[in-house]
Amino acid sequence: MPELPEVEVVRAGLERHVVGATIAAVDVLHDRPVRRHPAGASGFAAALIDRRIVGARRRGKYLWLPLDDGDAILGHLGMSGQLLVQPTSAPAERHLRVRFALTGTAHGRELRFVDQRMFGGLSVSAGGADLPPEIAHIARDPLDPEFDDAAFVARLRARTSGVKRLLLDQGLISGVGNIYADEALWRARLHGERPGDRLTRRQAVELLGHARDVMNEALAQGGTSFDALYVNVNGESGYFDRSLHAYGREAEPCDRCGTPIRRVAFMNRSSYFCPRCQTVPRSVRTTASRTGSA
DNA sequence: GTATGTACCTGTTTGC
DNA sequence: TGCAAACAGGTACATA
């Protein structure tokens, strides 16, 4: 489950291993991962042959590889995507979807897009070398030096949605997924259903700080991994999961107060929180009980 | 513009 | 034993 720290690890790996390489061949083994590319699999491949990769960039969980003609390969790892740099001779991974044969600085190696569940994908972004227009609506992430803390706090406090939903809104702040949203909320002692406009300025500032801390810590440790689905560009797993306080810890004691962590359904996924440390405002609790949505 | 719900996708786990 | 349902969840999209 790649979140921002994992994607950054992949980006750094790509910068080191494929920048300067030229794409000699493209083999699309499954159409779905290139579904966002209007010209289809053949058009995707044709647009990339003989192009040289000149960079490796990221915004939120999107990655892109600027090319020497001003276009870019735009990618998202989705739930289970991996970008691997492998020797050409390495056996194909079970869920190998797209392979790029490389020459030049990466001669003898391939860039491979492997994705079991295929929520991720690749496309060629015309003129997207600097910032692909397809992702212009994605906000900066809190590790970006140009992230505007004050503007984020103001926008957060103007919204009536629950704060967890707002943390997952990539137009407001990018790079925060379900795991780190739960961790940041646990650290901030805030319940995810608390409306944005019911946060004090101080609470909003602290929440942002915790989100940033969680991400920085995960990044320092090489990213989170719960199973074999996520590995970095060389195929090594991260190990941040040892540091989680809330996510995935249903019925285990809260690390602060010992109360069992609770899991509730939220947006077709799960939320984990401490029912003692992270209380819901009374008015929200009343509304939730009336609608039966807990 | 904002709020909310759902489709997409497949391998694994859980339940009957 | 075998099948079906639940589950994992980021994003785009539809609807109000």
Q: What is the 3-state secondary structure (H, E, C) of A25-64?
A: EEEECCCHHHCCCCCHHHHHHHCCCCCEECCCEEECCEEE
CA/C1' separation A105–C10 (Å): 33
Task: Verify whether residue A164 is a known catalytic residue.
Answer: no
- Token digits for A140? 């900066």
User: From the Cβ of A61, is strand C under 7 Å away?
Assistant: yes
CA dist., res. A77 & res. A52, Å (int): 22
- A38 burial level (CB within 10 Å; 0-12, 13-18, 19+): exposed
Range from A41-55, A103-117, A229-243, A255-269 that averages highest in pLDDT: A41-55
Q: What is the per-residue pLDDT for A267?
A: 84
- Name A286's Cβ contacts closer than 8 Å, sequence gap at least 6: none
Task: Verify whether residue A260 is a known catalytic residue.
Answer: no
Domains of chain A are 4-135 (3.20.190.10), 149-291 (1.10.8.50)
Q: What is the pLDDT of residues A35-80, one digit of tens each?
A: 888 888 999 999 999 999 999 999 999 999 999 999 999 999 988 8
* Backbone angles phi and psi of A38, in degrees to 5: -60, -35
Determine the nucleotide nearest to A30 by Cα–C1' distance: B9
- A132 burial level (CB within 10 Å; 0-12, 13-18, 19+): buried
CA/C1' separation A196–B6 (Å): 23
Catalytic residue among A3, A6, A183, A193: A3
Q: What is the pLDDT of residues A125-165, one digit of tens each?
A: 999 999 999 999 999 999 999 999 999 999 999 999 999 99
Determine the nucleotide nearest to A76 by Cα–C1' distance: C10
CA dist., res. A206 & res. A185, Å (int): 10
Which of the nucleotides in strand B have any atom less than 7 Å away from a protein CB atom? Answer: 2-11
Q: What is the per-residue pLDDT for A25?
A: 96
Q: Which residues touch strand B (CB under 7 A)?
A: A 32, 35, 79, 95, 116-119, 158-162, 165, 196, 267-268, 293
* pTM above threshold 0.75: yes
Mean pLDDT check: name the lowest of A115-119, A129-133, A165-169, A221-225.
A221-225
pLDDT band at residue A280 under the 50/70/90 scheme = confident
**For A253-272, what is the mean pLDDT?**
91
CA dist., res. A177 & res. A239, Å (int): 17
* Backbone angles phi and psi of A114, in degrees to 5: -115, 130
Residue (of A262, A237, A250, A178) closest to A4 by Cα position: A178
- Token digits for A42? 């053949």
- Name A293's Cβ contacts closer than 8 Å, sequence gap at least 6: none
**For A217-244, what is the mean pLDDT?**
56
3-state helix, strand, coil in chain A (%, to 5): 30, 20, 50
Determine the nucleotide nearest to A161 by Cα–C1' distance: B3
Catalytic residue among A94, A202, A242, A269: A269
CA/C1' separation A114–C4 (Å): 29
| pLDDT top residue among A87 and A240 | A87
**For A272-285, what is the mean pLDDT?**
82
Q: What is the per-residue pLDDT for A105?
A: 82
